[in-house]
Chain A
Amino acid sequence: MKVIALVFSSLLNRKFTTGLTVFTIGLSVFLLLGVERVRTETRHGFTNAISATDLIVGARSGSVQLLLYSIFHIGNATNNISYDSYQYITNMRGVDWVIPLSLGDSHRGFRVVGTTDEFFDRYKYSRERPLEFIHGAPFTDIYHAVLGAEAAAQLGYQVGDPLVVAHGTGSVNVLKHEDKPFSVSGILGRTGTPLDRAVFIPLEGITAIHIDWSQGVPVPSQVVDAESVRELELMPESVTTLLVGLTSKVHAFKVQRLVNEFPSEPLLAIIPGIALQELWRVMSVAEKALIGISVMVILVGLAGMMTAILTSLNERRREIAILRSVGARPVDIFSLLMAESIVLVVAGIAWGVCILHLLIVLFAPMLQQSWGIVIKAGMLSSKEWYMILNIIGLAIVIGIVPGYRAYRYSLNDGLSVRT
């Protein structure tokens, strides 16, 4: 332990350089751990968004695109599914339940999803967890709306508050359905999935607000007021996507094939687990690039540390001579410099972990609100510990260089320094 005490007093003698070195290493460690943590938490969020659903059906586009717009509300559908196809699929052999989703509207930047009240019973996320209502109940009227936890929190709505649906999926919309206001009937508990940022209304509600519109715009001569709409046929002509549960999972391929080859309409059926893995394959290139860059930054940081120690060696020759004069052998000088590298890197890692936790605490709420990604400031994962141990290992290897130079100095200089 005397070695450690010596290292500390030596480093504290050069506070400014030491501080800079620790700071630089800390930043590079923060970058690596931060990238890894965001990557892991994003994967966790996406993977747990849906569970216990055997197939997702939409108009024919691409499997990753269908997954993204139907579950994650990223991007848009290319086309809708006719109501007839929806009914046909519901009656297909092997199909247990079908939940329709209708997309295309929004409320102040939050996506509006038209669905049936069966959605709240059937939808599962994160290993078959069901949805829970923390306030209110599912819809019982065509003008009811259920809010996801984040939507309710950001908009500050309570059960009973009015809500006007806008046309289009932008964050600010010009065309609104003001003549047919909705009221909040329930608020869901937080799920950590894109559902938190959604507003759910009944399918009949979607039809009602578009009943006097034609080709995407309201037609003044055909206006029907909110109450008269109730008399009309409100089952929709089309829906955007279907969540399908089967009587047995082994029928997944058979039903998927039948939907993909459906003769009267071009449809696409995906198995969510497969589509998700395809998404990761697309993203893995970017992920690997980010991790690669972070590793490079760590190497740069460690190289900088090595340079700093090497340049300081010249000024420390007197220090080394003093140590030799009190009985330190050249090998002790070597181990002293090695220990110095290790202490600097460990301090840098500790500092980096502190920055990581600090920034997570500061920015996690903002990330959750804007992107729906939940990042927790918890303990380091085993993978993160593995990275840290590797960095320390690198530090030991890098520490050999200044250690050896100091060893040589101590041999050459002996007990007095000739400068």
Chain B
Amino acid sequence: MEKIIVRNTSLKIIRLWLFTCCTLTLVSCGIETPQSTNEVASMQPRELEWSELMPKDYDPNRVIADVDISEFSDSDPRALRYSKMLREAWSDAPVVSQLDGQNVKIPGFAVPIEYDEKNVSQFLLVPYFGACIHSPAPPSNQIINVQSGDTGINPDSIWDPIWVTGVLRTERLNTEAGDASYSIESAVIEPYIESTID
């Protein structure tokens, strides 16, 4: 008789425990969703294309418009001079100041600038992988200086593409040299998953 009572009690305890676990799991899931809907409601980020960071009338190839560079071999000093002129033109790349202050979402690859072994806190966002080895390098209006906010990047994952969401700023750094660049502070970072649905 006692054994049956004990067994029923232990079964009741197990049921109660399972019920508590399920409830706690659901509650913790539930707590997360209201927060994210709040964020979405306040500032909907606009998905940005890299080409939008370049002013529409900007043509860096203008400097060599009247030269047919396909005639030159790569080591021809004239080719080097023209590619240098091109590069100078790229480096004076102007920014689109209308984008200043907009909440944007843009995909790209991270080049770490400030980091420790657990987290990359500041990086340059570039449009393609291997911006440091591919020729030519992206012009300064195709690079964003990002400070990651609470979500950082694991240094081992810098080879993977990411979505960066945050308020875009256009800074005029060195007015005499015409340097200006884009930056984002307190960025939210998510992995970029290629969707196969088109």
A residues bordering B, Cβ < 8 Å?
40, 43-44, 47-48, 51-52, 54, 93-94, 126-128, 247-254, 256-258, 263, 271, 273-274, 276-277, 280, 284
B114 touches A254 (CB 8 A): no
- The segment from B16-24, B37-45, B132-140, B186-194 that touches chain A is B132-140
Tell me, yes or no, whether B33 is within 8 Å of chain A by CB: no
Residues from chain B with a CB closer than 8 A to the CB of A280 are 155-156
A126 touches B124 (CB 8 A): no
Q: A253-B137, A274-B132 are in contact. Are A44 and B174 (CB under 8 A)?
A: no
Contact bitstring B148-161, A, C-beta under 8 A = 1, else 0: 00000001101100
A248 touches B179 (CB 8 A): yes
Q: A127-B114, A253-B131, A280-B156 are in contact. Are A248 and B174 (CB under 8 A)?
A: yes
Binding site secondary structure of chain A? helix
Least distance between B120 CB and chain A CB atoms (Å): 7
Complex CA–CA separation, A248 to B182 (angstroms): 11
Complex CA–CA separation, A93 to B174 (angstroms): 11
Contact bitstring B65-102, A, C-beta under 8 A = 1, else 0: 00000000000000010000001001100000000000
In B114-171, which residues have CB < 8 Å from any A CB? 114-117, 120, 122-124, 126, 131-132, 135-138, 140, 143, 145, 155-156, 158-159
A250 touches B140 (CB 8 A): yes
Whose C-beta in chain B lies nearest to the C-beta of A284?
A: B156
Whose C-beta in chain A lies nearest to the C-beta of B141?
A: A250
Residue of A47, A250, A276 with highest tally of chain B CB at under 10 A: A250
Complex CA–CA separation, A190 to B124 (angstroms): 31
Complex CA–CA separation, A250 to B159 (angstroms): 19
Q: A247-B179, A248-B181, A257-B87 are in contact. Are A47 and B136 (CB under 8 A)?
A: no
B112 touches A274 (CB 8 A): yes
B117 CB contact (under 8 Å) in A48, A94, A249, A263 = A48
Residues from chain B with a CB closer than 8 A to the CB of A251 are 91, 140, 179
A47 CB contact (under 8 Å) in B113, B124, B138, B155 = B155
For the complex, count residues of B whose C-beta is within 8 A of A.
35
B158 CB contact (under 8 Å) in A40, A44, A277 = A277
B120 CB contact (under 8 Å) in A52, A54, A249, A273 = A273
Whose C-beta in chain B lies nearest to the C-beta of A53?
A: B113
Complex CA–CA separation, A248 to B179 (angstroms): 8
Complex CA–CA separation, A174 to B174 (angstroms): 52
Complex CA–CA separation, A250 to B132 (angstroms): 12
Complex CA–CA separation, A271 to B143 (angstroms): 15
A249 touches B145 (CB 8 A): yes
A253 touches B116 (CB 8 A): no
B138 touches A253 (CB 8 A): yes
A249 touches B174 (CB 8 A): no
Residues from chain B with a CB closer than 8 A to the CB of A126 are 116
B80 touches A47 (CB 8 A): no
Q: A250-B145, A280-B156 are in contact. Are A274 and B111 (CB under 8 A)?
A: yes
Residues from chain B with a CB closer than 8 A to the CB of A277 are 112, 155-156, 158-159
Complex CA–CA separation, A126 to B132 (angstroms): 24
Least distance between B16 CB and chain A CB atoms (Å): 20
Least distance between B78 CB and chain A CB atoms (Å): 13
B117 touches A43 (CB 8 A): yes
Tell me, yes or no, whether B4 is within 8 Å of chain A by CB: no
Whose C-beta in chain B lies nearest to the C-beta of A280?
A: B156
Least distance between A254 CB and chain B CB atoms (Å): 5
A273 CB contact (under 8 Å) in B91, B113, B138 = B113
B138 touches A258 (CB 8 A): no
A263 touches B80 (CB 8 A): yes
Complex CA–CA separation, A254 to B156 (angstroms): 25
Contact bitstring B15-57, A, C-beta under 8 A = 1, else 0: 0000000000000000000000000000000000000000000
Complex CA–CA separation, A350 to B140 (angstroms): 55
A273 touches B112 (CB 8 A): yes
Residues from chain B with a CB closer than 8 A to the CB of A48 are 116-117
Tell me, yes or no, whether B177 is within 8 Å of chain A by CB: yes
Tell me, yes or no, whether B197 is within 8 Å of chain A by CB: no
Q: A40-B117, A93-B177, A274-B111 are in contact. Are A258 and B131 (CB under 8 A)?
A: no
Complex CA–CA separation, A159 to B157 (angstroms): 46
Whose C-beta in chain A lies nearest to the C-beta of B137?
A: A253
A273 touches B117 (CB 8 A): no
A249 touches B113 (CB 8 A): yes
Complex CA–CA separation, A273 to B135 (angstroms): 19
Residue of A127, A276, A277 with highest tally of chain B CB at under 10 A: A277
B132 CB contact (under 8 Å) in A43, A51, A93, A271 = A271
Complex CA–CA separation, A303 to B111 (angstroms): 45
Least distance between B86 CB and chain A CB atoms (Å): 12
Complex CA–CA separation, A274 to B111 (angstroms): 7
B137 touches A47 (CB 8 A): no
**Assuming A94-B177, A253-B137, what are 5 further A-B pairs, CB within 8 angstroms?**
A44-B116, A93-B177, A248-B173, A248-B179, A249-B145
Least distance between A129 CB and chain B CB atoms (Å): 11
Complex CA–CA separation, A52 to B145 (angstroms): 14
B174 touches A247 (CB 8 A): yes
B132 touches A254 (CB 8 A): no
Whose C-beta in chain B lies nearest to the C-beta of A248?
A: B173
Q: A253-B137, A253-B143 are in contact. Are A247 and B173 (CB under 8 A)?
A: yes
Least distance between A45 CB and chain B CB atoms (Å): 9
Q: A47-B116, A273-B112 are in contact. Are A254 and B137 (CB under 8 A)?
A: yes
Residues from chain B with a CB closer than 8 A to the CB of A252 are 111, 113, 124
A257 touches B112 (CB 8 A): no
Least distance between B179 CB and chain A CB atoms (Å): 6
Complex CA–CA separation, A369 to B135 (angstroms): 43
Least distance between A322 CB and chain B CB atoms (Å): 20
